[in-house]
Amino acid sequence: MKNVLGLLVSVALLSSCSSSTQTAAVENGNSCSQLTGDQSHDNSVVIKSASMVPEGPVPAVPYQRPYAGTLASYCRVDGVIDERIGEGGKPYAIGFAIAMPEKWNGRFMMQGGGGLNGSVATPLGSNAAGDMTALQRGFAVVTTDTGHQGTHGFDASFFSDQEATLNFLYQAIGKVAIASKHIVAQYYAKPIEHSYYMGCSTGGREAMIMSQRYPRLFDGIVAGAPAMRTSFSNLADKWVMTSLAKVAPKDAQGHPDVSQALTAQDKTIVMQGLLKQCDAIDGVADNMISNVVGCTFDPMSVACSANKTQACISPEKAKAIKAGFAGPKNSLGVQVYPGFWFDTGITETQGIPGLLNPGFHPIVGKITSTDMNVDQEAMAASTPAAFVGDSAYWTLLNTFSNNGGKLLFYHGVSDPWFSAQETARYYDQLVADNGGKEKVSQWSRLFLVPGMGHCGGGAAALDHLDMIDPIVEWVEQNKAPAQIQVTGQVFPDRSRPLCPYPSYAHYTGTGDSEKAENFVCRYPE
């Protein structure tokens, strides 16, 4: 197996052009096409195509709103690393694409993937990019399929191949980062000034892997809703669904119909009770729960009783919701995965449904039982692959931090796939293991996004955020993000600051409560 140093040497020989030729080629616009066919001396890195993409509109990004403005012309390079024939005679390679703008700002960004990857996304740098993608801003951007081709976002067939599995878990992103950084530096005939990694979900896990396994490759890293302990987060989703199955009607096959466990009225009552208790504890009643840590909502507070017969749900349903959101514990009472916070997105119907709108889960599937053996399922979730590629436990990041690295996390509080409490748990451990909050806050911070679902969305969320400027300013100006302002289509005239966890945005009591400048960061009591 080629080591990283070997790949570094291989890619250094990638271009057949000298530095002076490259410089002249960039100036006359011909160097892009000249890259086609170049390869390292041992064939580990091969450029399959290279051509100029003319100026035009910003390509559409799945599950994201359209980006305004135009995209200036850029050189697009598509290549592969380590082409081979793998298990079952199936061809494998680490595919990648690089976008290099004509007006380069000296920065490099690697864009994280999603799901189980399996396709090379358009290299735009569109994750948490605010109004303008990284490529529009002048970054050189790279994407990768992490070593396999899939027929859909959750095609797991590649797990039968050892190297494809290792590539997906951690190897491919390191190889692509090293190879693409050398291609970019050679194309522009000057070194990259600063390197950034940004991703959400699987891309968030990859971002964490970069800080943990490749601590010298990136100056700034942004990890959104990281897919930590995926097998355990699936277990937690199943736990919520199974809890609700106990109060669900049966379908024609005698199985619980979890989607019908709660009526529309039930969900309205739960949400009204939640907002009544937690909405205004951030200083203003605005249908947003900013002080999520301080929200101690108990579903039993809206359960019917001898003294409460209206605007209530059955005690059995309240108990099911409470048990589900508390998260799964084993037979010894040990929490195997954190619970979920009560937030405004738990009844979400759009995009990925909220936890109180359960149905068919793409990974868990259909719930057919009201019982769940957490001990057995936790053991099944503890697979070798899960531990090799997981990012949930490694907190030794002193090489990364001592090298000047900056690490930002963000997570939607209403995320139904990966609990925001899991990211908070990791951050708390990061703080405990690295000298305390004051020291760690000098190089890492976590921002929770009220109401937001998985990487975006939410009927009561401000999910339009720009994490590019904050990470660039922190890395290049040593300006730590005290707040990050967010807006959204749901509340067109509203802005709010996101505050570093565990603080939250609290209304000062004066000025327009729709404006971010009238909020301060405060810690829960």
Catalytic residues: 201, 415, 454
Cis peptide before 338 (omega within 30 of 0): no
Task: Tell me the backbone φ, ψ of residue 229, rounded to 5 degrees.
Answer: 50, 55
Name residue, tokens 């570093």.
500
**Do residues 455 and 61 touch, judged by C-beta distance below 8 A?**
no
**According to the 3-state scheme, what is the secondary structure of 20-78?**
HHHHHHHHHCCHHHHCCCCECCCCCEEEEEEEEECCEECCCCCCCCCCCCEECCEEEEE
| Strand, helix or coil for residue 444 | strand
Instruction: With CA atoms as reference, report the closest residue to 78 among 180, 213, 192, 171.
Output: 180
Instruction: With CA atoms as reference, report the closest residue to 8 among 123, 176, 133.
Output: 176
**Do residues 142 and 110 touch, judged by C-beta distance below 8 A?**
yes
**Do residues 422 and 233 touch, judged by C-beta distance below 8 A?**
yes
The whole-angstrom separation of Cα 428 and Cα 436 is 9
Name residue, tokens 């896990």.
205
**Do residues 355 and 416 touch, judged by C-beta distance below 8 A?**
yes
Beta strands in 190-295 (DSSP E): 194-200, 220-224
The whole-angstrom separation of Cα 26 and Cα 34 is 10
